[in-house]
Copies of this chain bind each other. A is one copy, B any other.
């Protein structure tokens, strides 16, 4: 998500911002623009990558205005082709208009929705963004800040929300601060402020850092600057989603004072420290997300780090191949092995996480086929045992391999010589190294759903009994 206020190139700046946030969602993108002079709105959004959605100058020319709100879209559900649900959603009312973007997951969305529908509310999409819109409009509070407080009292989960209104930008984050938002200012336009999901955006649009929102905060931005408020009584330490550091955020972003590049280096180093392996000719990372952790590991261990796997940057979207034989080729084409660099070597392969284990299995197989002597798989995060209910797209617990198998069973399934994960303590320490005044949300590793389980409570408790939780002891 990205929003900017009071800049003549608002739409173009937003397009650049989205290109730098593309890793947060590849299924769709949109920009809505408001012009404070003409009071006119425009919007363009579609399924596809940012570059496909905003392809021509003609499209950009339609987005006239000096303020904008933009988002990339992903969806874990079957509703991914529901164009109405792509952010931002723009609402036109008789008295005013606003557009709205949402990141995260509302755990009690379904019960609220059911309640609202019973009273006659009509939903046009499956998006939680729309839920916010209905709650905001139904609140009879006298201004936007108070309406936001009304809404936050009613919802549970992990979220950050940005609203482009006709009198400025409003944004707010959940009570745990799972997904902080970064506030910036344009370098050459002092009276133009912006807000973004990740700080990597700042550099790329010629802006600098101003403030990072924390747990439960509400912000209002206009040309005069920004005003803070909060929807919770006491100030709380942010508990940032740990997956942001592990693989989700871009390495040139800084979250809660912790630079992601540095965090990943440290994760690699701690992984090495906890690892008593003595073999290993070479350390390799699964491209591209695990390269930094791999180089941290190699540095710590004093082993040579090399490129052995190359990601085919042109594969993009997976094509549904008609036969099994072709499907297998499809998998192979995502990554190529440089045989010359792996042949006859004992390889320590670093990956950032294991979800279902199928990709790891394929990569190990590729290396073995290319002549690697042995592959030791090391994961720069703890085993994922629990589903993510706070908006990081991840499989359900049924598919999480670590919740079903022991370490040995997993290594066996994947086909690696040995397998090792980072410990939860090491994860905490590695991050704390860079900022001791913050906390990590570890729900997927330890099941502590501190921001509430909402409608998922029963489901979660049912699954709990069948989990293989040996790693936690």
Measured CB to CB, the residues of A under 8 A from B are 9, 12-13, 15-16, 19-20, 22-23, 49-51, 54, 57-58, 60, 84, 91-95, 113-114, 117, 119-124, 133-134, 137-140, 188, 200, 203-206, 250-252, 259, 261-262, 288, 291-292, 295, 299, 304-307, 310, 312-317, 319-323, 325-326, 328-330, 332-333, 336-341, 370
Contact = CB atoms under 8 A, between A and B. Distances in A.
A314 B299 CA distance: 30
Nearest to A315: B19
14 contacts: A49-B314, A50-B314, A51-B315, A93-B117, A95-B117, A120-B137, A203-B332, A203-B336, A203-B339, A251-B310, A251-B338, A261-B338, A291-B307, A295-B306
A51 B124 CA distance: 27
A125 B326 CA distance: 35
Contact of A259 (B12, B58, B340): B340
A40 to B, nearest CB: 12
A114 B204 CA distance: 44
B329 A16 contact: yes
Contact of A120 (B22, B134, B312, B338): B134
B203 A337 contact: yes
Given A51-B316, A122-B133, A338-B252, A322 B114 contact: no
Given A93-B117, A122-B91, A340-B261, A19 B314 contact: yes
A290 to B, nearest CB: 12
A304 B265 CA distance: 14
A339 B310 CA distance: 25
Contact of A295 (B252, B307, B313, B315): B307
B329 A22 contact: no
Number of copies: 4
B51 A314 contact: yes
A80 to B, nearest CB: 16
Given A12-B322, A57-B319, A93-B117, 12 more contacts: A16-B329, A16-B330, A16-B333, A49-B316, A50-B314, A204-B333, A206-B328, A251-B338, A252-B336, A252-B338, A261-B341, A295-B305
A315 B252 CA distance: 16
A100 to B, nearest CB: 11
Contact of A204 (B54, B60, B124, B329): B329
Chain B CB count within 10 A is highest, among A23, A50, A333, for A333
A313 B310 CA distance: 14
A306 B251 CA distance: 13
B51 A317 contact: yes
Contacts of A317: 51
Given A51-B314, A114-B94, A336-B200, A329 B206 contact: yes
Chain B CB count within 10 A is highest, among A133, A188, A291, A341, for A341
Contacts of A325: 9, 188, 206
Contacts of A84: 84, 124
Contacts of A307: 251, 261, 291-292, 295
Contacts of A250: 310, 336
Given A320-B57, A321-B12, A252 B203 contact: no
A139 to B, nearest CB: 8
A156 B295 CA distance: 48
Contacts of A20: 312, 333, 336
B120 A94 contact: no
Nearest to A254: B340
Given A124-B124, A200-B336, A19 B133 contact: no
A6 B451 CA distance: 49
Contact of A305 (B57, B60, B305): B305
B57 A322 contact: yes
Contacts of A22: 312, 314
Nearest to A287: B288
A138 B120 contact: yes
Contacts of A291: 307
Contacts of A119: 138
B314 A204 contact: no
Nearest to A314: B22
B91 A329 contact: no
4 smallest beta-carbon distances between A and B, as pairs: A120-B138, A22-B314, A120-B137, A261-B338
Contacts of A336: 20, 200, 203-204, 250, 252
A173 to B, nearest CB: 24
